[in-house]
Structure 1
Amino acid sequence: MKKSLLALAVLGAFAGAAHAQSSVTIYGIVDTGVVYQSKVATANGGTGSKFGLNSGIIQGSRIGFKGAEDLGGGLSAVFNLEAGFSNDTGGLQGSDATTGSNLFRRKSVVGLAGNFGTVLLGRQTDFADTISAYTAVQDFGGWVNNSGSGLDRLQGTRTNNSISYTTTN
């Protein structure tokens, strides 16, 4: 009887030590605005003006979930899921023939992080987006992209089934 109680106590001690620390963060942006347009075509063939509600005036509206699970020894499992939406219609943002109706079409990654850096796998933007976030050339509200400057690559390109590695420095 004493052996089984001792074994149970030792097992209980290891079970408590194996409990990992995890965290999940919910984040997002709801960006909408009232827009005035002039010289809009009317049903009778003339032109007029109108007020409307538009989603994503400066940045695209989105909701995201990101988190980490401590695996021990300085290693963590990480994930990030991000969906874009049009808050004026409730529809998925960017649903078309090329992207389909993917819920997390902005970002959908899983990976490992540790002292070596971070490795992510899934749908993500490329290095141009990562670099622009740390510089003064990040495209704010599409101004660079829409100016005709040819610098629209500053926002990166989203790629399915991609792998990225980011060093700690």
Structure 2
Amino acid sequence: MPRPSVSLPLHGGCACGAVRYTLTSAPLALFACHCSLCQRQSGSAFGLSMRVTRADLHLEGPTQTRLRDTDRGTKSEMVCCPDCGGRIFNARPGTALCHLRGGTLDDTSWLRPSAHIWTSSAQPWVSFGAETLIHDGQPDDLQPIVSLWQERFAPVFD
């Protein structure tokens, strides 16, 4: 499949439009998370997590940050719209990278994940492409996901 050309910056927002954002740098990776939390929050079979540089993600509008405990005993902050509850991104507090929810982009036509994580919780009807990485749970190292996305799945950013 040819890699599409996508122009920066990228734009997106929550479901009600109260929160808008601009991403000024190319995403580092895109993967699908099939954990039960992503299923519940998305109201679907999985969530799309786009790894981005947090300093290049510029939010406009009111947001609410919620902290939750992860299965690994760490904290995760979820930045959401206080009006519709739509999650914009999640991250470990104080880190330089975050996971932008891919479905919040204005243009999602080019999204193609390089991996599926937490497949042990995946819906039984979901199938995975042979070209993607598959993880039953949370991978210890995201670098193989990043590398594969950049080599084979990422669009050409201009």
TM-score band w.r.t. shorter chain: under 0.3
Q: Kindly indicate whether structure 1 or structure 2 has the higher relative contact order, using CA contacts under 8 Å at least 6 residues apart.
A: 2
TM-score (norm 2): 0.27
Which structure has greater strand proportion? 1
